[in-house]
Amino acid sequence: MPTISMFYGILIRMFFYDTDKHHVPHIHAEYQGQVAVYSIQDGTVLVGTLPPKKHKLVVAWIEIHQEDLMADWELAVNGKKPFPIRGLDQ
């Protein structure tokens, strides 16, 4: 599972071939052992939780980078390595 971005202690990852469990394009966000899965299309949480402030950062980051995330999703579901995407702190 490649890490595609890191910001404010949050790791953003995508699995390869990850289309079966959540059925929508999504990312996995991890912060201090807590994991949440977010829809790329609208930033909703599909499963899990993050602290409220970190959640807001992830949702804002998804909105800013939605096109890049969809391009990375297409790569990842086809087994190709997604490109890194800038974090909010860069």
Distance CA 52, CA 23 (A): 25
Q: Give the DSSP H/E element, type plus range, for residue 52.
A: helix 52-64
pLDDT in tens, the chain (90 residues): 789 999 999 999 998 776 666 678 999 999 999 999 999 999 999 999 999 999 999 999 999 999 999 999 999 988 899 999 999 875
Rounded to two decimals, the pTM is: 0.90
Instruction: Please give the pLDDT value at position 89.
Output: 79
Q: What is the pLDDT of residue 22?
A: 60
